[in-house]
């Protein structure tokens, strides 16, 4: 059982920091691991694309390297990261909804009514 605060924090980490990390924090091991692996793979592909583009640009300064298209690597990385983020969004919504339903279905914490109400305090003369 995850509290509302823990579910909210896990959702924030999932959406604003690293997809999958919040799911792992909430105990969703399979979903969190998959999300994290997709996100890391996406970032690696984008980094490889960026490195290749920079090599081409610096090579053009010296005239050594001819440009060749490598946009698909960056696009694949963006798609992988987007899929991880969307999967983390679905998991985050599920976490928050489950925490909310478990909290409202929990035990009542209202104390039972008293059998004898307290007596009125005496009125003191002024």
Q: What's the pLDDT tens digit per position in 9-57?
A: 999 999 999 999 999 999 999 999 999 999 999 999 999 999 998 888 8
For 118, list phi and psi in degrees, rounded to 5: -65, 145
SS3 of the chain: helix, strand, coil, percent, to 5: 70, 0, 30
pLDDT digits (tens, 9 = 90+) for 71-98: 899 999 999 999 999 999 999 999 999 9
- 110: tokens are 């209202």
Higher local confidence (pLDDT), 107 or 87:
87
CB of 100 closer than 8 Å to CB of 5: no
Percent above pLDDT 90 for the chain: 61
Q: What is the pLDDT of residue 105?
A: 67
- 29: tokens are 């091991």
* Domain segments of the chain as ranges: 4-103
- Quick one: 89 exposed, middle or buried, by C-beta within 10 A (0-12, 13-18, 19+)? middle
- The answer to whether residue 60 scores a pLDDT higher than 90 is no
Q: What is the pLDDT of residue 109?
A: 67
Report which DSSP code applies to 106: S
Q: What is the pLDDT of residue 108?
A: 60
The span from the CA of 13 to the CA of 41, in Å, is: 18
| CA-only gyration radius of the chain, Å | 28
């Amino acid at each position: 059982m995850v509290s509302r605060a823990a579910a909210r924090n896990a959702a924030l980490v999932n959406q604003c920091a690293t997809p999958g990390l919040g799911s792992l924090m909430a105990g969703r091991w399979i979903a969190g691991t998959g999300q994290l692996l997709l996100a890391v793979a996406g970032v690696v592909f984008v980094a490889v694309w960026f490195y290749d583009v920079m090599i081409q640009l610096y090579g053009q300064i010296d005239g050594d390297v001819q440009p060749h298209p490598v946009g698909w690597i960056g696009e694949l990385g963006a798609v992988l990261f987007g899929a991880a983020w969307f999967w983390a969004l679905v998991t985050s919504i599920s976490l928050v909804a489950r925490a909310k339903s478990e909290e409202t279905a929990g035990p009542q914490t209202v104390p039972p009514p008293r059998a004898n109400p307290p007596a009125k305090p005496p009125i003191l003369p002024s």
